[in-house]
Amino acid sequence: MLGFNIVLDRAKNGNQPSMMKLYDLCCDAVFNASYRIVLNAQDAEEITQDAVLKAFDNLDSFRGSERDFVALVKTIAINKSIDMFRRRRKDPFYEEIDNTADQIEDEDDDFEDFPIEKIKETLNNLPDGYRLTITLRLIDGMEFADIAEKMGIKESSVRSQYARGLEKLRSTVTAQFNEIPHH
């Protein structure tokens, strides 16, 4: 593949094959980030396309690396995914918690001993508030304050949902793992 800057310059000039290369460069990561939030492949695909198109609309002002481009498109997709998620929810999915949640620290959780597919399955079956907070924080690396702002809730609620969600994830995966006969 041509160097990223050459592909980018050509895409800025409307070169369709170069635009397709930029799309191919980021589509998997962007789709996966969106899917983890909306849990629907068709919606995630639509969001991915919309995010790439929005990035293309501002391509002339983009100054960055390949990594920066993927991060930009992923951020756009995450924001669109959160918006879609919030529009589709009729009831609040975050519970307001007392201020003791401010003391909750981000933990380095170690799930290395468990099969990744079991972790994914369990995560997808958690209540929405837990699942979304863990996904945005642990997988997408967002700060608690940013999650709170995007979701329109208190940071203490995000921290509580995250801590409680991790505990629920850990206990469920551990219980399921202990049920599997080991040799």
> What CATH number belongs to 99-179?
1.10.10.10
Q: What is the pLDDT of residue 90?
A: 59
Instruction: Indicate the CATH number of 4-88 among 1.10.1740.10, 3.40.50.2300, 1.20.140.10, 3.90.550.10.
Output: 1.10.1740.10
Q: What is the pLDDT of residue 77?
A: 96
CA distance 182 to 117: 17
Which range in 51-55, 132-136, 162-166 is most confidently predicted, on average pLDDT? 51-55
Q: What is the pLDDT of residue 1?
A: 56
Q: Where are the domains of the chain?
A: 4-88, 99-179
Indicate the DSSP class of residue 58. T
CA distance 22 to 17: 9
Q: Is residue 97 predicted with pLDDT exceeding 70?
A: no
Q: What is the pLDDT of residue 160?
A: 92
> How would you classify residue 161: left for phi > 0, otherwise alpha for psi between -120 and 50, otherwise beta?
alpha
CA distance 131 to 149: 17
Intrachain domains 4-88 and 99-179 with the same fold: no
Q: Is residue 71 predicted with pLDDT exceeding 90?
A: yes
Q: Is residue 113 predicted with pLDDT exceeding 70?
A: no
Longest Cα separation, the chain: 60
